[in-house]
Amino acid sequence: MKNTRKNFMKLAVKQAAKSIGLSEVPVGCVIVDGNGEIISSGYNASIEKNDPTLHAEIMAIRKACKKRKNTKLLDCSLYVTLQPCTMCEAAIFEAGIKKVYFGSYSDSFKNFSDLKNKYHKELNGYIYYGGIEEEKCTSMLKVFFKKLR
């Protein structure tokens, strides 16, 4: 598999599928280093682990930092199936991850509302790219929430 944005997002989608089996909101994440190698991955596990902070991004950041024995992931990019929440944005910032790629836009977090019709946005040196594999990521979320109702 070629190391492209779409392929990394497809791997994040596979991580999100793990959440479905746990009755968690299906969100998956992978972190890639500057060489294009995947160094960690994660999926939502808040309910399973009784930990409200255990979002896909947090799980992946924790694993990557542990693997690198460092709190900074300066050369890394993060791929996540859903636009990061405020908590995850803070963790991404603290870890120094400068490039964030996400699939589905979140209606819950309006801080990027002007992004909807744009592919990329820079905020304080951090670059966010939205809408990668958006249809697949959004579909997975819609199916999950439809089953809950």
Per-residue burial over 29-58, b if 16 or more Cβ lie within 10 Å, else e, is bbbbbeeeeebbbbbbbbeeeeeeebbbbb
134 is catalytic: no
Helix, strand and coil content of the chain, in percent to the nearest 5, comes to: 45, 20, 35
Rounded CA-CA distance 124/138 in Å is 27
Q: Where are the beta strands (DSSP E) in 26-129?
A: 28-32, 38-43, 77-82, 99-104, 120-123, 126-129
Given 57, 89, 122, 135, the catalytic residue: 57
* Catalytic machinery residues: 57
